[in-house]
Amino acid sequence: MNDRVPVQHRRSWRAGVVAGMASYVDAAAIVSTGTALVIYQGPLHLSAGQVGALSGTLTAAIATGALLGGRLGDRFGRRRVFTATMAMVVVGCALMVLSTGFAPLLLGTLVLGLGSGADLPVALAMVSESATDRTRAALLGFSNVLWGVGAAAAGVVAAVVGGWGRAGGQLLYGHVGAIALLLVLARLSLPESPVWLTARRERSPAPARLLLRGRHLRPFAALLGFYALTNLAANTSGQFGAYVAVNVAGLPVDVGSRLSLLVLPVTVAAGLWFMRIAGTPRRMAYFASGGACLTGAYLVPPLFGFSLATLALSAAVNAVGGAFAFEGIMKTWAQESFPTLLRATAQGTVIAAARYLAAAFALVTPALLRLDPSLLYAGLAAVSAAGLAVGWLGFRGARRDEFAAAARPVQLRPTRAAAESQARVSPLGS
């Protein structure tokens, strides 16, 4: 028995890293697109409206992919769905590299977004279900670290190739596509989620409407409100970070992109610390502190002006706040709050709602930045604070753990064969 523990531990970490890299790809695709479209503006003759349309399309496609992928993952299994969706990311990146104008860019953005969005909820379910009770919270936290590293890695590539013209944009998408291809190959050797296999043998997939009933309604509604609002602020500042640096602060593309390099140590350190506290009662105290940092980060540029220094400070404070009060805690709550055959559906729906809202806002973000960037960032702070309040109200108090709840019936109720055998022996019951 003791010999099996290290083996299970290693297996859970391997599955957690391979599946958790979905977060890396998601972040890298968003940040790369934000920078690459700025680079493509000149060579491919893109207007500000077309840049907004492409950014909005990516976010809307990620949302649609999450909605569809989460449900497919609950119905047909984690492994086959998240292998196919990562292959879509490879195809989407190839289209973005080869595109020569707005129309092919739009197609590539659509494929990339659908694949990335569909992959995320299924991969995260795989992470949590492949983990042991000891490693689950840490692995979900590690996926959040990978999200930060993915965003930073895209920033590193942009810092190097930002002044290379169209080739720079192509290399940004080439980086995401290469990582995605390696992940497709690595995922082929992963077994199916044992938790999903057990649940699927015992019962049919639960209908999605159950999320709106009974004990599932409160965490589902809280996750919807929390993530939709905090993601609106985070997505806007992340997706349009390069745009703000270039068009508002007046920085060169490569200089603005180096902001990710400056905050990378902060992002990784804060994310690793979250891994330590994600499975403990202290996480709500950290959530409150992180929320204050997250809201305050958006206020730095309006209060002190848009410059390299203020954008760097804002990004660093945002990295600390986000580690404890954004993506990581959302993933943890979502995995703990729903049973196996609703887990990916719930998280996919939450991600989809948040990304649809962000996509709609992305269509008007460039115009709002031209109108008054300080007012826009003050609004992002207010929206983020509202989302954090919803999260606090929804998840304070006793912690839910559907993994423990699922284990109890398996131990206590007889198997179907045993029940039939008992019925034959004593038809009148006990």
Q: Apex CA 236: angle with CA 232 and CA 241, to 5°?
A: 155
Q: Which CATH architecture has domain 9-195+206-401?
A: Up-down Bundle (1.20)
pLDDT (average), residues 348-361: 91
Determine contact, residues 269/320, Cβ cutoff 8 Å. Answer: no
DSSP one-letter code for 209: G
280-336: per-residue pLDDT in tens? 889 999 999 999 999 999 999 999 999 989 999 999 999 999 999 998 899 999 999
**Model confidence at 58: pLDDT above 60:** yes
Q: What is the pLDDT of residue 64?
A: 95
Q: What is the CA radius of gyration of the chain?
A: 22
Helix, strand, or coil (residue 254): helix
**Dist. CA 291–CA 167, nearest whole Å:** 39
Neighbours of 3 (CB within 10 A): 6
Q: Which two tokens stand for residue 425?
A: 């022996």
Q: Apex CA 372: angle with CA 371 and CA 373, to 5°?
A: 120
Name, in order, each residue with C-beta under 8 angstroms of 28's C-beta and a sequence gap of 6 or more.
150, 151, 153, 154, 175, 176, 179
Determine contact, residues 139/16, Cβ cutoff 8 Å. Answer: yes
The C-alpha torsion from 258 through 56 and 338 to 402, rounded to 10°, is 0
Q: What mean pLDDT is reported for the chain?
A: 86
The answer to which of 7-16, 61-70, 102-111 has the lowest mean pLDDT is 7-16
**Model confidence at 242: pLDDT above 80:** no
Report the share of the chain in percent with pLDDT over 70.
Answer: 90
Q: What is the pLDDT of residue 251?
A: 85
**Alpha-helical segments (H) within 162-258:** 166-187, 194-202, 214-239, 241-247, 253-257
39-48: per-residue pLDDT in tens? 998 899 888 8
Dihedral of CA 149/151/152/154: which sign? positive
Q: What is the pLDDT of residue 424?
A: 41
Q: What is the pLDDT of residue 422?
A: 37
**Model pTM?**
0.83
372-395: per-residue pLDDT in tens? 999 999 999 999 999 999 999 999
Q: What is the pLDDT of residue 414?
A: 40
